[in-house]
Amino acid sequence: MSGKRTDYISWDEYFMGVAHLAGLRSKDPNTRVGACIVSEDNKILSMGYNGFPRGCEDEDFPWEREGEELETKYPYVTHGELNAILNYRGGSLEGTKLYVSLFPCNECAKAIIQAGIRTVVFDSDKYEGTPMNRASKRMFDAAGVTYLPYSRSGREIRIML
């Protein structure tokens, strides 16, 4: 049988799938974000998802989105991108690529730039146009970080759990 096989997923499908799978570990009832950092030769270096820092138990901190600031999740949650950066124990992330299910906020954009990540592939940009989103893009542009929307192939990929 000659001819090229086409029944396998692309690298982008694989790594974005890993990012989404990592996001399923999040206990956030509203927004589950996963991230996957990949080397230039397509090796997974680290993963992360949004959640509270180590030692901060889920039952002891709020998941609410509205209310008094200290009674919401925002001052406490570590985003998936930052967790992926912090989880990496191998040295430099210079020149790597980040796959993330949601476009990075301005705080994560700073960490991505400082870590040396050169490309961000994102699935959703649901906060497009907000001040934080515009700040992220402005910093990425200034620092030379490429950001690309994930291009879906149209193929349905299902993970049976």
Residue from 137, 75, 89 nearest 112 by CA: 137
Q: Which of 59, 66, 68, 81 is catalytic?
A: 81
Residue from 117, 96, 127 nearest 33 by CA: 127
Map tokens 């270096």 to a residue: 45
Q: Kindly report the CA angle at 79 between 78 and 82, in degrees rounded to 5?
A: 90
Is 81 part of the annotated catalytic residue set? yes
Main-chain dihedrals φ then ψ at residue 18, nearest 5 degrees? -65, -40
Residue from 38, 49, 51 nearest 90 by CA: 38
User: Residue 79: CA atoms inside 13 Å, Cβ hemisphere, count?
Assistant: 16
Residues classed as catalytic: 81
